[in-house]
Amino acid sequence: MGRTPIDVALSSGIVRGRSTNGVATFLGVPYAAPPVGALRFAEPRPVPAWSGVREALEPGPSAPQRASTSLASLDVFPVSGARWRRGDDFLTLNVWAPTGSRSRPVVVYVHGGGLVLGTKDAPAYDGTAFARDGVVAVGLNYRLGVEGFLPIPGAPTNLGLRDTIAAFTWVQDDIAAFGGDPANVTVFGESGGGIAVACLVTSPLTTELFRRAVIQSGHGSAVYSLHVARRTVAAVARVLGVPADVEGFGSADAERCVAALSRVSRPGRVDLRDEDGVDPSFGLGVVNPVVGDDVLPRHPLEALAAGAGADVDVLIGTTAQEANSWFAPTRLDLLPRWAARWLLGRVAPRSRALFAAYADHGPGGPGERGGEVLARVLTDMAFRWPSRQYAEAHQGRTHVYELDWRSPAAGGRLGAAHGVDLPFVFDTLHTTTGPRGLTGTAPPQDLADHVHGLWVSYATDGTLPWPEFDRDARGVYHLSARAIRREPIMPAAAFTPAAPHLQQV
């Protein structure tokens, strides 16, 4: 079958996509007005209606950002899409839908990138396989970095989350026009997108906007109080040479703001440790959602413990070796122990004891390099343990998984690193396969069939082939082994402040 034009009438006007082999694709469909001029630091506004037919054949612009398409020897562009496509109209989304269908389940993907980079248009996020399997897939852009997540005095907070809520609302209003069922929506995100989804499960502004949530390599603990986040605001303002308020930031164009945030993001530039001495990002970033506004009135774990999001089914998980993504390609895993201990001391209290807890029980024994120990510490502290805390706090139906397949990339040292799960979920292994690819030269297609099938099944009716998570049984489903394993309490638990209103481990 060839490509044929296909028109869909939305509440704002008619969009024209293309249909290929039973899948209708619409790219760059606006869900909010362009966030420029007076709207740059304002809440998202409705899309102005248009007359005639608006073509939705090209992805369009992305949010302002600065990023490389490679990480040392690895090509990470397929899973980050991190390239600034300049243009004002970037609050848009992509839709892939099976042609001629009605009332199909819907998945809405929030891309990752530490809330400072990324786009809906990364090659690995192509939703064709979901549509092929009967699910309407949506991917969205949102404001990043300075415009999206810095709590600038005089501007609304959490604008990136507000954009995401606006996109979820658009899905409720318009997804039926593409054959989707607005009453059967699953939202999912990875990394920064996983943090966004984890937070929004608890938000009073998302009631009845989605039925299920999948949180990949994200959790609800990566949030800042306002006074901590304002340290980054002050630091960026100093680099820009402007007052630390909305007028000052408004006088600096997006190019300057992106450059200033990039400069401030260098390790050690901003101390983001809280009153417990913990940086919830553990030095991996300087931007997170803030707590205490109408989007997130309470810390997400406190809100979960009080019953927020109990009506939303949650599937949450991580990769087994998250931090390898930063350590293996850059050879930071070869750091000596003294250097690794020093770095850990910059982001965590009791760092010597924490380092020793992992060094004393490591797979490499006394000869394990400091960087390898530090990677395991950060994998648990920044990803695995807080995701388990989230699962324990959620009062509704909850399942936990872990990706245990180890990529042979980066000289065989990448392993089950951050982001390796994405091409398996989207069934897009072809985008990450090759000598510099994230998944090496011969990744297992049967695992992609399995993982993608699980996500399709979950989005369709919530079905998963393993029991719900229980804090006593601690059953975690390992995707490659296809087995449930009882997971012991991690050493990280003893070094993590108790989640608000939750029982201490």
Q: Which residues are catalytic?
A: 191, 322, 418
Q: Three-class SS of residue 381?
A: helix
Q: How far is CA 211 from CA 271, 458, 459, in A?
A: 38, 11, 9
Other CB atoms within a 10 A radius of the CB of residue 461 amount to 9
Q: Three-class SS of residue 505?
A: coil
Q: Are 77 and 83 in contact (CB under 8 A)?
A: yes
14-20 and 23-30 beta bridge pairing: antiparallel
Closest alpha carbon to 485 in 405, 424, 400, 415? 400
Q: How far is CA 147 from CA 33, 158, 164, 373, in A?
A: 15, 9, 14, 36
Q: Three-class SS of residue 55?
A: strand
How far apart are alpha carbons 188 and 106 in whole angstroms? 11
Q: Are 417 and 384 in contact (CB under 8 A)?
A: no
Question: Where is 246: in which H helix or E strand?
Answer: helix 246-250
Q: How many residues does the chain have?
A: 505
How far apart are alpha carbons 324 and 332 in whole angstroms? 9
Q: Are 369 and 443 in contact (CB under 8 A)?
A: no
How far apart are alpha carbons 64 and 32 in whole angstroms? 16
How far apart are alpha carbons 314 and 193 in whole angstroms? 15
How far apart are alpha carbons 197 and 188 in whole angstroms? 6
- Cα end-to-end distance, the chain, whole Å: 58
Closest alpha carbon to 190 in 181, 179, 198? 198
How far apart are alpha carbons 247 and 284 in whole angstroms? 29
3-state secondary structure 355-377: HHHHHCCCCCHHHCCHHHHHHHH
Q: Are 29 and 183 in contact (CB under 8 A)?
A: no
DSSP assignments along 144-163, one per residue:
-HHHHH---TTS-S-HHHHH
**Structure tokens belonging to residue 247:** 């007028």
Region label for 488, one of left (φ > 0), alpha (ψ between -120 and 50) or beta (otherwise): beta
Q: Are 36 and 42 in contact (CB under 8 A)?
A: no
Burial 95-108 (b: 16+ CB within 10 A, else e): bbbbbebeebbbbb
